[in-house]
Structure 1
């Protein structure tokens, strides 16, 4: 955020006031980051996300979850929190369907996701966004490919058995991970994968944010989210 020139303040959770104590006009945006790879255990993902929504709701007029179905455990989260005095939203496509996962979100939705898979012409393809590229060893561990992310031979055996031949480098347009290309190259070299490039888009994410913000401000003109 500093590199992007966005002024911000890092606060412990207990220092963030409840919305009833908020003063002044305008929008306060709170970013609450959860740990990596929670989706490796779907029930753990659901438990954690639900508990954090309950934690942030008293401090917010609206919550937008940057998640998709992720194993189909978050498909009813909006309905489950409908009674809250805080609008809870999740990433959706224009037709109102929740996106499948983070890859589908940055490819523009399910239709574009399927087109990307078809373009791989049957070859098993592993998708790497900047975040996953930089954290691919942790991803391998949490996905159960190998308990030891440095055991390349074991991971390579699992990839070969599953039929993976390619890695797709998904350009999201965000440059916050400086080693993106280097990490994709490292991954492809270690596992002998062909690299294919896919252009991502932030349009779906930006649309969801704009809709959440607009509906929240309409309901609460002096809101924080």
Structure 2
């Protein structure tokens, strides 16, 4: 029995569907039963997969009865990044639980404002391999991604280059476009001292919106959502080429580490 755990932000929902639906070696997918995994469940089922949905405390019994390579996924809500302390606390709780029955855990997160910069020091004796999404840009040492946009654009270096050219641009991937109101607490107004309005974004210097095309089409109304956002905020829309390379390589590295440790 070999088990990989995935803990991630819902903003990476499509990338997780992509890596799992294109992995011929994964024999069983378990989803922790919670509301954040509902969209993931539907997208995986649309790809012909049949995940097992269980409360986290029941998964271990199923794993002990199997010799399969299994993947367990626990997604967390979009918008936790606005409160790094809460993001860290919730992730660490889920990480501690999953580490009891996973051989390795891949976090579909970047550093997220340094919420996870001390992760290895905070879990020095954890009984499984632990990894954030990794930037393996040519000619540079391996390091964690800065955030989810860096992952979608192919790495920290390319992200910084694009930021220099488009400093007035707000970036949206498909899942960001579908969930921006929830992510930025637009209805709840929970971000102290900040309102997510056209005036406030313009005061911050934003004038454009970037449609980051990762090549994934699980969110069928991506273009419509971008147009709605642009119309509401009065932004010009530009197109940027993204990819799933970071997500795929990070997943492959963790999988190889677990299944083929001598080659990883």
Q: Same fold (TM over 0.5)?
A: yes
CA deviation digits over 1:163-210, x for unaligned, max 9? Answer: 110000011122121221111000000111000111111111111111
For 2:196 and 2:154, the matched residues in 1 are separated by: 33
What is the match of residue 223 of structure 1?
Answer: none
Match of 2:172 among 122, 128, 135: 128
| Equivalent residues in 2 for 1:158-169, closer than 5 Å | 158-169=200-211
* Structure 1 residue 6 displacement after superposition: 2.0
* Structure 1 residue 18 displacement after superposition: 5.9
TM-score by length of 1: 0.86
What is the match of residue 97 of structure 1?
Answer: 143
Match of 1:43 among 85, 89, 103: 85
**2:50 is the alignment partner of 1:7:** yes
TM-score by length of 2: 0.74
Which segments of 5 or more consecutive residues in structure 2 lack a partner in the other structure? Answer: 1-43
Match of 1:22 among 64, 82, 85: 64
For 2:150 and 2:121, the matched residues in 1 are separated by: 22
What is the match of residue 53 of structure 1?
Answer: 95
For 2:204 and 2:237, the matched residues in 1 are separated by: 17
What is the match of residue 217 of structure 1?
Answer: 259
**2:75 is the alignment partner of 1:33:** yes
What is the match of residue 163 of structure 2?
Answer: 117
For 2:181 and 2:170, the matched residues in 1 are separated by: 13
For 1:188 and 1:59, the matched residues in 2 are separated by: 45
List, as ranges, runs of 4+ consecutive aligned residues in structure 1 with deviation greater than 6 Å: none
How large is the RMSD of aligned CA atoms in angstroms?
2.3
What is the match of residue 116 of structure 2?
Answer: 74
- Residues 79 and 184, structure 2, Cα contact 8 Å, conserved in 1: no
Which segments of 5 or more consecutive residues in structure 1 lack a partner in the other structure? Answer: 220-225
**2:209 is the alignment partner of 1:172:** no
| Equivalent residues in 2 for 1:133-144, closer than 5 Å | 133-141=177-185
Tell me: CA distance 1:154–1:197, structure 2 relative to 1, closer, same or farther (3 Å): closer
* Structure 1 residue 15 displacement after superposition: 1.7
Tell me: CA distance 1:148–1:87, structure 2 relative to 1, closer, same or farther (3 Å): closer
